[in-house]
Amino acid sequence: MIEDAAFYIFAGVSLFSAIAVVLSKNIVRAAVGLLGTLGGVACLYFLADANLLGVIQLIVYAGGTLILIVFGIMLTSQSPWVGFLPTKVQAIAASIVAVILTIGIVRLVTLVPWAQRNPDELSQSLTVKSIGDALLTTYLVPFEVASVLLLVVMIGAAYLARTEK
């Protein structure tokens, strides 16, 4: 019962912040809204017994990516209140597409009879240890590819962002 209420609260926080992201004209406020969404979704992960994922979301997304984004905003903005607003036609067209998309996906989700099982009956031994074991056995190839990708990204980003001489 409390868990259900908690789901609605965290889902509400995420959705509200996502709406704030879309509606805010100031880009820093949008980033703060994104922080709300990330935090709410991390709480949802905690609720779904995905502790490790929730913590990774907080440390990588909220503590790393988001700070990078805010850093990027600070480096590229000329004054705090410059907003680039879309034209009315663009905004209306985008809203219509988004509404159609929402209705379509929600309709699809409610139509499909998902084979759903009770999570209490599933053997849930999702400790950090089991996920770590899986990462180094079953998912070893993606894991290694990901580490190579990160290296490539690191070098690429450093090359792109260097000062021209």
Partner 1 sequence: MLATIGLQHYLILSALIFSLGVLCMATKRNAIGILIGVELVLNSANINLVGFSKYQTGKGDGQIFAVFVILLAAAEAALAIAIFMNFYNNVRTIDVDRGDELRG
Partner 2 sequence: MASITLPWVERNPKTLTSQRRTALTLLYSLAFLHVLLVIASWAWLTPLSSAAKDLTDGRIPLVLILCVGSVIGMLTFVTAALVVTFYRLVGRILAAPWVAFIIFIGAIVGIILLAWLHAEAFAFVKNMAHPAYTDVNPAPKIFGTSIEYEQSVRSIYEQNLEPYAFKIPFVGNVTVLAAYILWPLQFAIVRDLVAVGGIIGFISIVPGFGIWWERKIAGRMQSRMGPMRAGGWHGWAQSAADGIKLIFKEDYVPPSGDGLLFRLAPYFALVPAICAFIALPFAAAWVFRDLDVALIFILAMLGIEVMGVILAGWASNNKWSVYGAMREACQMVSYEIPMGMALLIPVMTAGSLNLGAIAEAQGGGFWTWFIFKNVWCFAAFFIYYCAALASCKRAPFDLPESESELVAGFLTEYSGFRWSLFFFGEYAAMFVISGLATILFLGGWMSPFPSEWADKLIDPNTNHFVATIIRGVVAENPLWFIAKATFMFFLQLWIRWTLPRIRIDQVLYACVQVLLPMMMVVLLGNTLWILAVDHWSWMQTTDMIINWILAALGVAVVIGMLAIASYGFRHNKALVGSMAADQLPGK
Interaction site with partner 2 (CB under 8 A): 2, 26, 28-29, 32, 35, 51-52, 55-56, 58-59, 62-64, 66-68, 70-71, 74, 80, 127-128
- 81 lies in the binding site for partner 1 (CB under 8 A): no
* Tokens linked to 40: 């709410």
Please list every residue from 86 through 105 that binds partner 1, using CB under 8 A: 86, 90-91, 93-95, 97-99, 101-102, 105
Residue 35 to residue 165: CA distance in whole angstroms: 36
By CB under 8 A, tell whether 148 contacts partner 1. no
Decide: is 79 part of the binding site for partner 1 (CB under 8 A).
Answer: no
Q: How far, in whole angstroms, is CA 137 from its chain's centroid?
A: 27
CA 41/CA 105 separation, integer angstroms:
20
Contact partner, 155, from partner 2, partner 1, none, Cβ < 5-8 Å per class: none
The full DSSP string for 93-158 is HHHHHHHHHHHHHHHHHHHS------TTTS-----HHHHHHHHHTTTHHHHHHHHHHHHHHHHHHH
Beta-carbon neighbour count of residue 6 at 10 Å? 14
Q: Minimum Å distance from CB 55 to partner 2?
A: 5
140 binds partner 1 (CB under 8 A): no
Out of 79, 81, 89, 116, the only residue in the binding site for partner 1 (CB under 8 A) is 116
Considering CB distances under 5 to 8 angstroms, the limit depending on partner class, which of partner 2, partner 1, none binds residue 96? none
> Of 11 and 55, which CB lies nearer to partner 2 in the complex structure?
55
Location of structure tokens 């406020």: 29
* Closest C-alpha among 36, 8, 6 to residue 20: 36
Q: How far is the CB of 68 from partner 2 (least distance, A)?
A: 7
Task: Supply 111's token pair.
Answer: 């139509």
User: Residue 74 binds what, of partner 2, partner 1, none (CB under 5 to 8 Å, by partner type)?
Assistant: partner 2
Q: Does 126 bind partner 1 (CB under 8 A)?
A: yes
